[in-house]
């Protein structure tokens, strides 16, 4: 009984597999018949379009001309001053005075803030008093030595004491100067993160100063374009805050790839104009990475695709005194801003159909002005 059940199961499995195979073959045959019927319909429609009684389908045309074609890499950048510096104190100290406010224009060397230096100033007074005393001793000892009175050791000791105090005074004066935070450039105070009474530390910015006498646009570009972008390349900069586009050139293309985000820095200087640039304004940067000086370029939506035949467009031809729509198969290149580069398939002077092409078929009679 068990053997009989197993036999039935095997027979059922074989029948099921054969049925699945037959279905696949049947489906493939139906697809072939469908393609054949579609082709016959297209041919019949073409023959119908050539009849005298068939009305002409209205279309619009454009005569093709060769023109320059460019491709741009588009990234978002920011405006920055040519000099954008965080100013830090050169020593640690408590802030006692802040002499500027945000927005002030400052000059190189101008004092911006002062740190507590009372201890140093007191030490300076003590050293100055000591200097007066040892200088007086030195002068007396020198006069005696000039008259050949006294020993040379006494003279040199007095001289050494005076010079030692002078060196200490110079050191203290330098330390007092370090307690003043000064501007290293001409520019505008953009940020003051410190407050009076706060402990300021060396290496921690206390002021941000930006010099916008020369502004620039800075952008981070993906590593994939590192071989395509170089200093001197053309760049178009769109400033949405001013609704203005500028034509500039790349002034700096970094050779360093940031390992964190795999980008490199590109900069382009901005020419002075009436606009008031501000740090970190948005700038849309379009860098030219490809240029074909003479090629046919058409809007991307003119190009249609066929699964079996590839990409094509419709052009208008005159045959036997009639205006006919004909397919032209094309090889496309780069697409940018809705425009596609045509590498082959179209020639200068061809009349491409620009409107009404969606429902056309090969050989259809058309009408245009």
Q: Can you give the pLDDT at residue 78?
A: 92
| Integer Cα distance of 246 and 72 in angstroms | 14
Distances (CA, A) of 101 to 55, 98, 189, 191, 195: 79, 8, 7, 9, 11
| Integer Cα distance of 140 and 69 in angstroms | 90
Q: Identify the residue whose tokens are 């101008």.
A: 110
Q: Can you give the pLDDT at residue 40?
A: 61
Query: pLDDT per residue over 298-312, tens digit each?
Result: 999 898 888 777 889
Does the 73-82+212-290 domain belong in CATH 2.20.25.10?
A: no
SS3 205: coil
Q: Can you give the pLDDT at residue 285?
A: 92
- pTM over the 0.85 mark: no
Q: Can you give the pLDDT at residue 7?
A: 45
- DSSP bridge pairs for 208: 86, 191
Q: Judge contact between 189 and 102, C-beta under 8 A.
A: yes
| Integer Cα distance of 244 and 305 in angstroms | 38
Stretches in the chain below the pLDDT threshold 50: 1-5, 7-8, 11-18, 48-52
Query: pLDDT per residue over 202-248, tens digit each?
Result: 888 999 998 877 889 999 999 988 888 888 888 999 999 888 888 88
Q: Can you give the pLDDT at residue 10?
A: 53
Q: Can you give the pLDDT at residue 265?
A: 93
Of 345, 263, 276, nearest to 310 by C-alpha is 345
| Integer Cα distance of 315 and 313 in angstroms | 7
For the domain covering 52-69+294-367, report its CATH number: 2.40.420.20
Query: pLDDT per residue over 117-144, tens digit each?
Result: 888 888 888 888 888 888 888 888 888 8
- DSSP bridge pairs for 93: 200
Q: Can you give the pLDDT at residue 76?
A: 92
């Amino acid at each position: 009984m068990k053997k009989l059940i197993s036999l039935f199961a095997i027979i059922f499995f074989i029948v099921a597999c054969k049925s699945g195979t037959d279905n696949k073959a049947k489906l493939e045959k139906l697809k072939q018949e469908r393609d054949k019927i579609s082709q016959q319909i297209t041919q019949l429609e073409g023959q119908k379009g050539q009849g005298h009684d068939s009305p002409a389908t209205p279309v619009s045309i454009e005569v093709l001309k060769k023109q320059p074609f460019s491709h741009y890499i588009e990234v978002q950048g920011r405006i920055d001053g040519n000099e954008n510096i965080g100013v830090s104190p050169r020593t640690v100290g408590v802030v006692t005075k802040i002499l500027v406010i945000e927005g002030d224009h400052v000059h190189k060397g101008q004092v911006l803030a002062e740190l507590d230096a009372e201890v140093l100033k007191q030490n300076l007074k003590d050293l100055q008093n000591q200097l007066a005393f040892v200088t007086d001793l030195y002068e007396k000892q020198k006069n005696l030595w000039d008259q050949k009175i006294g020993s040379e050791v006494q003279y040199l000791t007095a001289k050494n004491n005076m010079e030692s105090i002078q060196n200490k005074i110079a050191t203290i004066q330098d330390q007092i100067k370090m307690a003043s935070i000064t501007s290293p450039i001409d520019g505008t105070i953009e940020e003051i993160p410190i407050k009076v009474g706060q402990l300021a530390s060396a290496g921690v910015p206390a002021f941000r100063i930006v010099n916008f006498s020369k502004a620039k646009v800075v952008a981070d570009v993906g590593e994939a374009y590192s071989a395509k972008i170089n200093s001197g390349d053309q760049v178009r900069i769109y400033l949405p805050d001013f609704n203005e586009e500028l034509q500039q050139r790349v002034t700096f293309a970094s050779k360093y790839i940031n390992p964190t985000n795999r980008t490199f820095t590109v900069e382009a200087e901005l020419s002075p104009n009436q606009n008031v640039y501000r740090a970190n304004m948005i700038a849309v940067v379009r860098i030219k990475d490809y240029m074909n000086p003479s090629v046919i370029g058409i809007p991307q939506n003119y190009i249609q695709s066929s699964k079996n035949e590839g990409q094509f467009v419709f052009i208008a031809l005159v045959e036997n005194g009639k205006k006919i729509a004909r397919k032209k198969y094309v090889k496309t290149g780069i697409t940018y801003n809705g425009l596609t580069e045509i590498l082959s398939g179209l020639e200068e002077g061809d009349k491409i159909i620009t409107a009404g092409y969606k429902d056309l078929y090969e050989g259809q009679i058309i009408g245009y002005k």
